[in-house]
Structure 1
Amino acid sequence: MTIIIISLLLLASLLPYQTFTAQVNVGIVNGTEARAHSRPYMVSIQKFGGNICGGSLISDQFVLTAAHCWNGEILTVVVGAHDLSDIKSSVRIGVMSYIPHPNYIGLPRPIRNDIMLLKLAKNVELNNNVRLIPLPNEGEDVAADTACSVAGWGRLATHGHGSNVLMEADTTTVNPAECERKWGSKFFLTSQMICAHGAGGSCRGDSGGPLVCGGTAVGVTSYGSPSQCNSPMTPNVYTKISAYSQWIRNEIGNVK
């Protein structure tokens, strides 16, 4: 029972802070400031004017993020941003439709299918500061020890504050068997999850942002340890985008 309780607490680590006290939506720890607009696909998902999650712009009308970032409230999306305090350099857009995966399961049960699409209220104008990021092919896997990166406006330390400027960190994918050993098979599913670790990594406020490998968004930031952001004992977990390629294509084509 103790192991189960601890594991559930760990799973809460990347959920939005407005709903849970555990670490879910934090910024990048041990990272560096990204070069301004070097990640033009990054979006800030906000509630009441504050960043709660990240996301990826995958079409001129759709953002890919984590399902746990939405609890029925009204969200807005900010595109083209680097410094969130500089409102003149970005565009704020409302959300027309919230499309969490139909089989999404959140806390207190083990998280499953933690992926969501946001249909924006208007099409985004693409430019040098606002661009799309490609997605992997259906069923495509990322090999262990692949060099990747994460970015976000979340906390800079486990118990610290979020960042106004976009932060980034290099990270490396971990062998799925090792991820399963560290998290337990009840919580980590190789078929729909990837885990990664590096000197820096995601923290509270970074949920929904992409795990980028070779210029492709291969994962959606989902959960990690609530006691230590970027813990080596329980590497950060990302929803495997390639397992949901068909669902993404269907929804983008079906939503009017």
Structure 2
Amino acid sequence: MVSLQENGKHECGGFLVSENFVMSAAHCWKKMIFILPLIHFFTCVYHSVRSVACTLHYSITVILFQLEKPVQRSRTVEWIAIPKTNKDVEANTICSVAGWGKIAFEGPYSSRLLEADVSVIETETCKRDWGNYFSESNMMCAGSDCTCLLQGDSGGPLVCNNTAVGVIAFYEKTCINPPRPYGYTKISAFLPWIEKIMGKIK
């Protein structure tokens, strides 16, 4: 997990996908100057960004930050696998999400990385609940009755079977009986672009 920060303050989540690249939600890019590889607390060294690449596909996109210096693997720092094919994750698969987002709608950001299990939701349910906003080709939904995503959680990964399959993208601004499931950008929908960028940027 990675914290994207502005002026030393957490703003969005992200995650290492290689020693050189961090993936996040595209709407998190503005003014994000430094990135911290973290596990639970804000205790690691800042990494500056060398370059940024962003997809342009409707309003739901992913972004890749290239780091100035490669991140070294350690006991607490590792990058996560992303899909190798565009096969969808089956509904009801148990996955996980994590972030340092707000612990209440008007509350502070969490100082500790919070994690939760969520279940992948049927595509038809997502389409019904989100209407025209939902694009089956590049979005998916997942959630649970006891999971709450709020400001600051955007950009974090949806991890299924040790693979990051989605990026936290959109959600209701309430944790009390949210009327619609949480939405994620499908990483697999952007594989050709991801491979092009990660291969082209040195």
TM-score range, shorter chain: over 0.9
Kindly provide the CA deviation profile for residues 57-111 of structure 1, in whole angstroms up to 9, marking residues without a partner as x.
010010010000012x242110134212xx3xx121001111111x144xxxxx2
What stretches of structure 1 move > 4 A for 4+ residues in a row?
Answer: none
TM-fit CA distance, 1:233:
1.6
Indicate conservation of the 8 Å contact 2:4/2:32, yes or no. Answer: no
Identity fraction in percent: 41
Judging changes above 3 Å, is the alpha-carbon distance between structure 1 residues 104 and 75 closer, same or farther for their aligned structure 2 residues? farther
**TM-score normalised by L of structure 2:** 0.95
Within the candidate set 9, 29, 34, 1:76 is matched to 34
Structure 2's unaligned 5+ residue stretches are: none
Q: Which one of the candidate residues 98, 115, 120 is aligned to 1:151?
A: 98
CA distance in 2, matches of 1:230, 1:65: 26
Please point out which of 47, 56, 63 is paired with 2:15: 56
Cα distance, 1:230–1:134 mapped onto 2, change above 3 Å: farther
In structure 2, which of residues 39, 53, 58 is the aligned counterpart of residue 99 of structure 1?
53
Closer, same or farther: CA 155–119 of 1 in aligned 2, 3 Å:
same
Q: Name the SS for the 1:123 alignment partner.
A: coil
1:95–1:230 distance in 2 versus 1, CA, 3 Å: farther
CA distance in 1, matches of 2:175, 2:34: 26
Q: Please report how far the alpha carbon of residue 170 of structure 1 lies from its aligned counterpart in structure 2 after TM superposition.
A: 1.0
Structure having greater relative contact order (Cα 8 Å, sep ≥ 6): 1
Partner secondary structure for residue 150 of structure 2: strand
The answer to whether 1:183 aligns with 2:130 is: yes
Q: From 172, 188, 191, give the equivalent of 1:245.
A: 191
Q: Hey, what does 2:2 align to over in structure 1?
A: 43
CA contact (8 A) 1:138 1:246 kept: no
Letter paired with 1:98: V
SS at match of 1:243: helix
Structure 1 gaps of 5+ residues are 1-41, 106-110
The residue that corresponds to 2:154 in the other structure is 207
Q: What is the aligned residue count?
A: 201
SS at match of 1:63: strand
Superposition pairs of residues 68-147 of structure 1, within 5 angstroms:
68-71=27-30, 73-84=31-42, 87=43, 90-101=44-55, 103-105=56-58, 111-112=59-60, 114-147=61-94
